A = this chain, B = another copy of it.
């Protein structure tokens, strides 16, 4: 017999942003000519700058030959990236950080969920209303 985490049954039926995306897509299918102004979710809209595109092409080419191919990276991020983050984002502002004080994750949303795992269920938390939905949902799940 397998028991589920009952907290999941307390989540709202639909995830806000997912629901908005589905409704926008449905409208777009019915009105392909419509110019939609999206106010439902903050998103990036401008193309990536040339230096980023060039760096990404270079990284792809590294994966094409045995001499430069990379397998699994270190799970807290490549040291060449961590060193640059410390140098440009922190040292430039007068903040000293050691390499083991920076880790490269897969993004703020998974982090928000994972931080909850570190904390005990005995904590009492308060969230504002309205609030970014992830802050509520991850706490309800936990």
A60 touches B63 (CB 8 A): no
A92 to B4: give the CA distance in the assembly, Å: 34
Any B CB within 8 A of the CB of A18: yes
The tally of residues in A whose CB lies under 8 Å from a CB in B reads 43
Residue of B nearest to A64 (CB): B53
User: A64: which B residues are within 8 A, CB to CB?
Assistant: 47-48, 50, 53
Q: Which residue from B18, B69, B74 sits with its C-beta under 8 Å from A48?
A: B69
Across-interface contacts of A122 in B (CB, < 8 A): 3
Determine which residue in A56, A57, A60 has the highest number of CB atoms from chain B within 10 A of its CB, and name it. A60
Task: Give every chain B residue within 8 A of A17 (Cβ-Cβ).
Answer: 75
A128, chain B: closest CB distance, angstroms: 19
Q: Which residues of B contact A27 (CB under 8 A)?
A: none
Who on chain B is nearest to A38 by CB? B71
Interchain CB contact under 8 A, B43 and A63 = no
- Residues on A lying within 8 angstroms of B by beta carbon are 2-6, 8, 15, 17-18, 21, 41, 43-48, 50, 53, 56-57, 60-61, 63-66, 69, 71-72, 74-75, 106, 110, 117-123, 141-142
A-B contact pairs, 14 of them (CB 8 A): A2-B119, A2-B123, A3-B120, A21-B74, A44-B71, A44-B72, A46-B66, A48-B64, A50-B64, A53-B60, A53-B61, A56-B63, A60-B60, A117-B117
